[in-house]
Structure 1
């Protein structure tokens, strides 16, 4: 007596497809890194990275997409890059003001 399994006996449903990746989180991450690395326009890139990352976090929460870690990293890098260049701009303006108001003897 040989045992032959039924064709439906070992049937497992296919795994569900993976959740799609949020594109804005990738863009926010890339712009966040560029805001730290690229001089002169890092301030603007940081602002755009903050906006894109915040929007992507909201979309990920609503649509159950992937990319939450990238969005958080983009948000942090965007904030750090914006703060670095904001401080540099303020120091430059302070230096220009101090140099313009300097009067020698």
Structure 2
């Protein structure tokens, strides 16, 4: 008799906090989404088919990592811009 796989609570947590990372809790939501997403995917792989939700965990990971990467790129642009302005001010 086949058992219907349950959805991993960690995968649901990752998806929800990933969405919160874009709206109400920018940094905290993203970090929780990343951590729980990795934990969920590991838990699902170890479960032997009794847990489902890998897609939700993957989307939660993507939603968690995207603001972190965009924030780091934004900081790089700001520092490069300010560094260029400082260099131009020192040359002229």
Normalization by structure 2: what TM-score? 0.71
For 1:89 and 1:44, locate their aligned partners in 2 and report how far apart those are by CA, in whole Å.
Answer: 18
Q: How many residues align?
A: 89
Structure 1 counterpart of 2:32? 48
Unaligned ranges ≥5, structure 1: 1-14, 98-102
For 1:83 and 1:73, locate their aligned partners in 2 and report how far apart those are by CA, in whole Å.
Answer: 15
1:42·1:85 contact (CA, 8 Å) conserved in 2? Answer: no
Unaligned ranges ≥5, structure 2: 84-88
Matches within 5 A, 1:31-70: 31-35=17-21, 37-38=22-23, 41-63=25-47, 64-70=50-56
Please identify which structure carries the higher helix content.
2
Normalization by structure 1: what TM-score? 0.63
The structure with the largest alpha-carbon Rg is 1
